[in-house]
Amino acid sequence: MSETKNGKVALVTGAGSGIGRACALRLAEHGYSVVLAGRRQAALDAVVGEARALGGDALAVSCDVTQADSVAALFDTIRARFGRLDVLFNNAGRNGPPVDLDELEIDVWRSVVDTNLTGVFLCTRAAFGLMKTQNPRGGRIINNGSISAHAPRPNSAAYTATKHAITGLTKSVSLDGRKYDIACGQIDIGNAETEMAERMARGVPQANGEIAVEPLMDVRHVADAVLHMASLPLSANVQFMTIMATRMPFVGRG
């Protein structure tokens, strides 16, 4: 059962599946009007159907976050439909193949950087401009960092580099947004049970060269965490949060 609409508008990128889908549905269920962005229109439309079945308000907009024109069109749609944006969850991302560094194709590196870093910048830039001029002023930007923002997995140079960069962007936006009542925080997620993490249950390479099955957690816990961050008053901010499967091999020596 949906809660009463709270009058707030949230944008979730990469909303067609996985963490993005779960978070979009949770926000819609709690009264946010949710804009779902992603490259696969059919997947977005399916999530919109789920949100409306929960009594939520949702809009699907096809967008490639790596393209400035596409992001500009997305925000034109948000302005025309809602006139404001209260929450941006920068969730869209991709990984590269797990190969030795010298075998990582330059085009793959650029694609990962374009999606995970430049895409976040483009959406953040557009949201910042809207949030600082709308009335009431301000809003919240939440970046999906990943456990890789702290420590790499084997053969993940492109992904890990972008997630470390997201931490720097989060800090800069948090600082620069203060005078405009724009809060910015980061959620670092480890082993949420999604299509992307299915390989964890089959066994993945460890730092010591072994292959090991890793525990997973229900993605609903991530959605609850994002909802908590989003729901805080702008006078409070979760700067960084790590949520992970308790027994995953992250804390310790590998």
Residue 1 pLDDT more than 50?
no
The predicted pLDDT at position 169 comes to 98
Set 130, 159, 174, 189: catalytic member: 159
The predicted pLDDT at position 208 comes to 87
Determine which helix (DSSP H) or strand (DSSP E) holds 243, and give its type and residue range.
strand 240-244
The predicted pLDDT at position 236 comes to 98
The predicted pLDDT at position 253 comes to 62
Q: Which residues contact 216 (CB under 8 A, 6 or more apart)?
A: 191, 192, 193, 197, 200, 201, 245
Query: Exposed, middle or buried: residue 39 (CB in 10 Å: 0-12, 13-18, 19+)?
Result: middle
Stated pTM of the model: 0.94
**Residue written as token pair 């910042």:** 128
Answer yes or no: 180 catalytic: no
Residues of the chain with pLDDT > 70, as a percent, come to 98
Q: pLDDT digits over 124-172, tens only?
A: 999 999 999 999 999 999 999 999 999 999 999 999 999 999 999 999 9
The predicted pLDDT at position 15 comes to 96
Q: pLDDT digits over 197-209, tens only?
A: 778 888 888 888 8
Cβ contact 90:141 at 8 Å: yes
Question: Domains, the chain, ranges and CATH?
Answer: 9-244 (3.40.50.720)
Structure tokens at 5: 């609409």
Cβ contact 36:8 at 8 Å: no
Q: pLDDT digits over 235-246, tens only?
A: 999 999 999 999
**Residue written as token pair 């430049």:** 118
Mean pLDDT of all residues in the chain?
94
Q: pLDDT digits over 4-39, tens only?
A: 588 899 999 999 999 999 999 999 999 999 999 999
Report the sign of the C-alpha dihedral through residues 218, 94, 164, 61, in that order. Answer: negative
